[in-house]
Structure 1
Amino acid sequence: MKGPLFYSKILLFGEYGIIKDSKGLSIPYNFYNGALKTEDNPSEEAVNSNKSLKAYADYLAKMDQDLVVFDIKSLQQDVKGGMYFDSSIPQGYGVGSSGALVAAIYDKYASDKITVLENLTREKLLTLKSIFAEMESFFHGKSSGLDPLNSYLSLPILINSKENIEATGIPTQSSDGQGAVFLLDSGITGETAPMVSIFMENMKNDGFRKMLKNQFIKHTDACVEDFLKGDVKSLFKNTKQLSKVVFNNFKPMIPAQFHELWKKGIDTNDYYLKLCGSGGGGYMLGFTQDIKKAEQALKDYKLEVVYNF
């Protein structure tokens, strides 16, 4: 058995801000994917994945049936038969490994599911998002439901506010463009839950809340608008500001060995770094107007280009 593929995602803008109603923009990233599978000679990874699916099935069995009903019997039977999630999506890297799994489970086992083929009204998107938030909170403690939504629909998603999300189009990539968005591999895994609790702790501080509203959210919203309009000049101006704000106020989320590199990008304008997901490790996102320059400046690191301007 092999189920359909579900892709990883990249939240281009909006990490942490969307908790406080900033705009956000999330895009599918087809380089990584995952699917539900069973096979006769499972690897050690498959066996471990199967074990955690067993715990997950028990969790889903207790979920509020007014929200979503699963065919738990089939799910438990398949898990007993050795089903696992075969995934190339790195865990703890901020590209939505649990999101793809949640999307795959919903797709296969939810009764009366909302499908990708129907007219996706705002109401349906919000319903899906709240189902996915509940399903994914098994992995993170608290989830916005956006990662699975992105993975399930395989469409870019524009977050205008908590109650206002829509599938959107993004400007076509220019294949020979010098400008690029890239992933920078930190080489270490990040954990979402501890990073989110540092953020929530900081939110008790009046000065931090002001900074979030007047700087972080302001530049995040501007970046989303610039990106969707294709206004590259303004986008880089706002990304630089965003990179500075993160450097000055989100230090714990940036692995210590990258502090210097982060600042160097701002000082030289060769590239600007920002968090990809909750930070603390995994990938960082980079924006550059000249990918050759950025590659030269970051030659000791692994870069993956995800979008060209």
Structure 2
Amino acid sequence: MKGPLFYSKILLFGEYGIIKDSKGLSIPYNFYKGALKISDELTEESVQSNKNLERLATHIELLQETDKYFPQFDLISLRDDLNAGMYFDSSIPQGYGVGSSGALVAAVYDKYAIEKITVLENLTREKLLILKDIFGKIESFFHGKSSGLDPLNSYLSLPILINSQQDIEPAGIPSQLATGKGAVFLLDSGIVGETAPMVNIFMENMKQEGFRAMLKDKFVKYTDMCVEDFLSGDVKGLFGNVKKLSHVVLHNFKPMIPAQFHAIWEKGLDTGDYYLKLCGSGGGGYILGFTEDLEKAKKTLEDYKLEVVYSF
């Protein structure tokens, strides 16, 4: 058995801000993917994955017993497949902010939810919010609290525009230019990031009035403008606002940026060759970069491997 593929995602804009109802834009990233699989050849990773899925199945069982709004899953088949050695065969790096647990949750819902909302239906806003809620409850097993957006993106394999926590819709994004010089890229920090500690730091900071004001007046404002510029194809406006956003993040989210990246973050702001921002919760994993001239950015960042995710 090998199930359908579920892809990683990239939250281009909205990390942390979406907790406070900023806009957000999440896109599928097809370079990394995963699928549920049963195979006789078990590796150390697949055994570990099978154990994780066992615990996730228990979490789903509990949700089904205690939450009257939670859908029914075919738990007998799920347990049978787990006993047969099922695991999640995935190339998605964990702790990198590209949605490894989201793809897993999407795959489990797709295979075992009994009356599932399918991608082929007319996806009303109400159905999207129901799916997001279900996915958030399942994914909370991994992160303690989850918006449900990562699994939703992986499940639908569509760009998703987040207008607010209660208003989400599939988004059309401008088609990529194969000949374009500009790009959005991923920079590998070489460190695994953990979501929960980063979110805890953010929540502690939110107790300070100054931080809350910065979030509303600068972070959310520039995030919203970036989303609007990106969707309307206003590249000039986008880079102006990404620069402002990058500056705000460097000066207010320092604990989320690995220390060895503070200098190259600053260098991008000084030279204008590229601008960096968090990819997911930070603390490690990938850092997201925006550049109007990819070749120039590659030269300045020659010690790092850049993965292009979108071309302008």
Same fold (TM over 0.5): yes
Which residue matches 2:59?
Answer: 59
CA-to-aligned-CA distance 1:61-116 (integer Å, 9 cap, x gap):
01124221111111111111100000000000000000000000000000110000
SS of residue in 1 equivalent to 2:304: coil
Q: Report deviation, 1:302.
A: 1.0
The 2-side partners of 1:257 and 1:60 are apart by 40
After superposition, residues 219-298 of structure 1 pair within 5 angstroms as 219-298=222-301
**One-letter identity of the residue aligned with 1:96:** G
Q: Report the counterpart of residue 46 of structure 1 in structure 2.
A: 46
State the shift of 1:226 in Å.
0.1
Q: Secondary structure at the match of 1:62?
A: helix
SS class of match (1:108):
helix
Helix, strand or coil at the partner of 2:133: helix
Match of 1:32, SS?
Answer: strand
Q: How far did 1:232 drift? A: 0.1
Amino acid at match of 1:76: R
In structure 2, what residue type is equivalent to 1:23?
K
Match of 1:108 in 2: 111
Q: What do residues 152-182 of structure 1 show as CA deviations (whole Å, max 9, x unaligned)? A: 0000000000110000110000001000000
Residues 145-184 of structure 1 mapped to structure 2, 5 A cutoff: 145-184=148-187
**1:127 aligned onto 2:130:** yes
Provide the C-alpha distance between the structure 1 equivalents of 2:277 and 2:103, rounded to a whole number of angstroms.
Answer: 23
Give TM-score, length-normalised by structure 1: 0.99
Query: Which residue in 1 is equivalent to 2:15?
Result: 15
Q: Please give the alpha-carbon distance, in whole angstroms, between the structure 1 residues aligned to 2:195 and 2:116.
A: 28
- Describe how 1:204-215 pairs up with structure 2 within 5 A: 204-215=207-218
- The superposition leaves residues 212-239 of structure 1 with CA deviations (integer Å, 9 ceiling, x where unpaired) of 0000000000000000000000000000
| Structure 2 counterpart of 1:138, from 122, 138, 141 | 141
Q: Which deviates further from its counterpart, 245-254 or 66-75?
A: 66-75
Show the counterpart of 1:187.
Answer: 190
Q: Secondary structure at the match of 2:288?
A: strand
Worse overlay, 223-232 or 46-55: 46-55
Secondary structure of 2:264's aligned partner: helix
Structure 2's unaligned 5+ residue stretches are none
CA–CA distance in 2 between the matches of 1:214 and 1:128? 31
* 1:198 match: 201
| Structure 1 CA distance for aligned equivalents of residues 52 and 132 of structure 2 | 23
Q: Measure the CA separation in 2 of the matches of 1:14 and 1:129.
A: 16
- Cα offsets for 1:176-233 (capped at 9, x unmatched): 1000000000000000000000000000000000000000000000000000000000
SS in 1 for 2:169: strand
Give the 5 Å matches for 1:64-79. 64-79=67-82
1:80 is the counterpart of 2:119: no
Question: Per-residue displacement from partner, 1:30-66 (whole Å, max 9, x unpaired)?
Answer: 0000000010121111111001111111111011242
- The residue type paired with residue 34 of structure 2 is G
- CA deviations 1:245-271 (Å, max 9, x no partner) are 000000000000000000000000000
- Give, in whole Å, the separation in 1 of the partners of 2:213 and 2:188: 31
Counterpart in the other structure of 2:306: 303
Distance in structure 1 (CA, Å) of the matches to 2:114 and 2:163: 29
Percentage identity across paired residues of the two chains:
74
Name the structure 1 match of 2:3. Answer: 3
